[in-house]
């Protein structure tokens, strides 16, 4: 009696191997790669130019592999050493082009950002991306991005962490109900938090933009708030800006035509100092400073 189950299991194993072999032999990796290139252009307006034809790789798990290539879109371009389109066994056996995830190795973005490996996972219309490498003036860089649908909009969460010399850098961006259309966008609320920490000193910037809309070159926020805090030796200096704002994502600046600025200084054993100021203000992200003009 015990021998019967073993024989049945052996037969099932042989059948599974034969099915896998047939599926592999019937699967057209080049056609799958070409279709992925077409979908990247149709759905994301991204132009993908791989060098050479796609091929199927079985181990450690089924995947269609595109070698070195270039990716471009929205005026930016990137190169990669390898693009691996992960497959489940069922898509491989059935020939259906499902894509649960992919891995990009050696991704270089305009010489400014180099990610050794980027993991991309799909769950319906939700996307989860994680990468690590160097760039943007940071070492030990890690990047994560989550994007999930909410009706006809998307919720977005971005985190960037790394080191700049002895400084630890942490940036988090959250966008609620984000809508993108070519070079324009709109969001119900955008929150950006950036922090530098070094030897107990810290510099924190928290930006809140409710109902922002416009293009990458010019956008308006009905109300915007920015708080920049420098903390050291139990002391704290905070500058808070409030008011309607204009921002340019491409150039990296944010301006208030009529800002309300409050500066607060708290030092141990001393009374708090507060100053209020009204006027035009511009904050340049690249310089990490506020500029009066």
Residue 120 confidence (pLDDT) = 92
pLDDT band at 293 (very low <50, low <70, confident <90, very high): very low
In this predicted model, what pLDDT tens digit does every residue of 181-232 receive, in sequence order?
777 889 999 999 999 998 889 999 999 998 899 988 889 998 889 899 999 8
- Residue 125 above 90 pLDDT? no
Strands 138-150 and 126-135: antiparallel
Mean pLDDT on 266-272: 76
Q: Which residue has the higher pLDDT, 98 or 136?
A: 136
**Cβ contact 39:64 at 8 Å:** no
Distance CA 47, CA 40 (A): 7
Q: What is the pLDDT of residues 224-265, one digit of tens each?
A: 898 999 998 888 899 888 888 898 887 888 888 888 888 888
pLDDT of 165 above 60:
yes
Reported for 23-29, long-range contacts at CB under 8 A and 24+ positions apart, including other chains, are: 23/92, 23/93, 23/94, 23/95, 24/56, 24/58, 24/92, 26/95, 27/56, 27/92, 27/95, 28/95, 29/53, 29/54, 29/55, 29/56, 29/64
E-state strands within 165-234: 167-181, 184-198, 201-215, 219-232
Higher pLDDT, 267 or 129: 129
State the Rg of the chain over Cα. Answer: 25
Q: What is the mean pLDDT of the chain?
A: 81
**Binning pLDDT at 50, 70 and 90, where does residue 5 land?**
low
Reply yes or no on whether the pLDDT at 96 is more than 70.
no
Q: Looking at residue 144, what is its pLDDT?
A: 96
Q: Please say if the pLDDT value at position 95 is more than 80.
A: no
Omega of the bond leading into 87 within 30 degrees of 0 (cis): no
Taking 50 as the threshold, does the pLDDT of residue 292 lie above it? no
The SS3 call for residue 13 is helix
What pLDDT digit, counting tens, does each position of 167-176 carry? Answer: 899 999 999 9
Does the structure show a pLDDT above 50 at 12?
Answer: no
- Mean of pLDDT values over 63-76: 84
> DSSP secondary-structure letter at 285?
T
Q: In the numeric block, which tokens belong to residue 140? A: 């030990």
3-state secondary structure of 18: helix
Tokens read off for 127: 């996307």
pLDDT, mean of residues 81-102: 74
Q: Which contacts of 36-40 are long-range, i.e. CB under 8 A and separated by 24 or more positions?
A: 36/64, 36/66, 36/85, 36/97, 36/99, 40/71
């Amino acid at each position: 009696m015990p021998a019967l189950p073993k024989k049945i299991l052996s037969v099932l194993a042989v059948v599974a191997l034969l099915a896998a072999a047939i599926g592999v032999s019937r699967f057209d990796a080049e056609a799958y790669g070409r279709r992925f290139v077409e979908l990247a252009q149709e759905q994301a307006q991204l132009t993908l130019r791989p060098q050479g034809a796609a091929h199927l790789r079985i181990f450690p798990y089924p995947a269609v592999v595109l070698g070195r290539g270039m990716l471009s879109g929205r005026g930016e371009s990137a190169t990669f050493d390898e693009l691996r389109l992960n497959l489940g066994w069922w898509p491989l056996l059935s020939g259906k082009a499902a894509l649960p995830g992919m891995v990009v190795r050696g991704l270089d973005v305009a010489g400014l950002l180099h990610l050794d490996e980027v993991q991309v996972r799909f769950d319906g219309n939700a996307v989860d991306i994680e990468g690590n490498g160097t760039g943007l003036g940071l070492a030990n860089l890690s990047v994560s991005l989550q994007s999930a649908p909410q009706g006809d909009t998307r919720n977005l969460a971005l985190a960037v962490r790394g080191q700049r010399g002895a400084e630890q850098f942490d940036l988090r961006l959250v966008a609620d109900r984000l809508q993108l259309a070519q070079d324009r966008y709109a969001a119900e609320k955008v929150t950006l938090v950036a922090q530098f920490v070094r030897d107990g000193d810290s510099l924190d910037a928290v930006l809140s933009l409710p109902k922002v809309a416009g293009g990458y070159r010019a956008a308006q926020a009905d109300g915007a708030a920015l708080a920049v805090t420098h903390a050291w030796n139990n002391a704290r200096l905070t500058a808070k800006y409030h008011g309607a704002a204009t921002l340019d994502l491409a150039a990296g600046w944010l301006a208030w035509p009529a800002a309300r600025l409050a500066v607060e200084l708290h030092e141990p054993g001393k009374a708090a100092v507060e100053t209020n100021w009204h006027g035009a203000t511009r904050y340049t992200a690249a310089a990490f400073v506020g500029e009066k003009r």
